[in-house]
Amino acid sequence: MIPYPWIDEAAHRIAPHVRATPITYDRQNDLYIKWENRQVTGSFKARGTFNKILILEDWERQAGLLAASAGNHGQGVALAAQTTNVPATIYAPEEAPTVKINAMRELGADVRLIPGGYGEAERIARKQAEESHATWVSPYNDGLVIAGQGTLALEAIQQLEAYPEFAMEESVWVVPVSGGGLVAGVGAAIKNLPNPPRLVAVQTEAEPFMHALYYQDTQDIQVEAPTIADGLSGPVEENSITIPLIREYVDEIVLVSEKEIIQAIATAWHQYGERIEAAGAVVLAAALSGVVSQRPAILVISGGNIEPKKHQEIVTANIG
């Protein structure tokens, strides 16, 4: 379990370094949308990385920070490292989006590209951290990182008080899942409420690793297939603390297709004027496709770091 006070303490700790991102209400579809694409670095990841890195001992930071990332976690690590004036090295899959690789480097990180997908990048990064005695900053398998991500839910709960018609006990929260740090943090916050809402996690059909762990207790049958949702790619670290947390907090995990994700990216732009990446679009895809039909729904759009050219192609090809 992630103690609720951890999340409250994290909210105060990271407040000077992150933004309070907006919630908007789509009355026609009864959707409350939390836009973490407006967060510093363009994704929710900065919440967890700041909480972890700010609480480290000086000697842990001075040893250098090391992480594996498809891009968003790496940007969070890089920004926190820059803020605390320590070096950061990020291992990323070589097919990671250029916009994310460049952003990590612009924030001062030493980015090393690894062939073979996210899983291989993480394996090599963990080995290097052990050999070099650098401080490993997990994207999800860390209670402090999870608590930092949970601050998103505390913020949203307060924002939802501005909507008198909103009934928390009747709602469903819809959150992307890969390694599970975000949905575990959200779950730790909302399941503490007197009348907790349902919590649904969304993953891609192409790489349903957490879905397989949740329903079949194994991910060995899964292979990494191509997906536009690079931020949700890769298997879950063995024995990650997020696995039991998700079993405790999450009511259901659903899957969406690549086509549904692409349509959601276009809808976010044409209907809401928001640029979002595929990893964040999965929740909107789940709501629009009917995979998640319960209302009211709170959708957590986790990030907006998408290649500009790819985004333009999607929104041009998918109008209406």
Co-location of 234 and 283 in the same domain: yes
**pTM of the predicted model, to two decimals?**
0.96
Choose one of 136, 161, 193: the last residue of a domain. Answer: 136
Do 103 and 233 belong to one domain?
Answer: no
Domain stop point among 112, 136, 160:
136
pLDDT in tens, 107-139: 999 999 999 888 899 999 999 999 999 999 999
User: Which residue among 136, 155, 183 closes a domain?
Assistant: 136
pLDDT digits (tens, 9 = 90+) for 222-267: 677 889 999 998 889 999 999 999 999 999 999 999 999 999 999 9
88 & 231 share domain? no
Same domain as 210, residue 186: yes
Angle, to 10 degrees, between the axis of helix 4-14 and the axis of helix 45-55?
90
Fill in the amino acid letter for 237.
Answer: E
Q: How confident is the model at residue 1 (pLDDT cuts 50, 70, 90)?
A: confident
Range of the domain at 23: 4-43+142-317
Task: Assess whether 164 and 272 both reside in one domain.
Answer: yes
Same domain? For 177 and 202 the reply is yes
Domain count, the chain: 2
Residues 35, 50, single domain; the answer is: no
Q: What is the average pLDDT across 42-67?
A: 97
Residues 37 and 162 in one domain: yes
pLDDT-based confidence at 320, cuts 50/70/90? low
Do residues 304 and 42 lie in contact, with contact meaning Cβ atoms separated by under 8 Å?
yes
What is the mean pLDDT of the segment spanning 187-193?
Answer: 96
Whether residues 16 and 82 fall in one domain: no
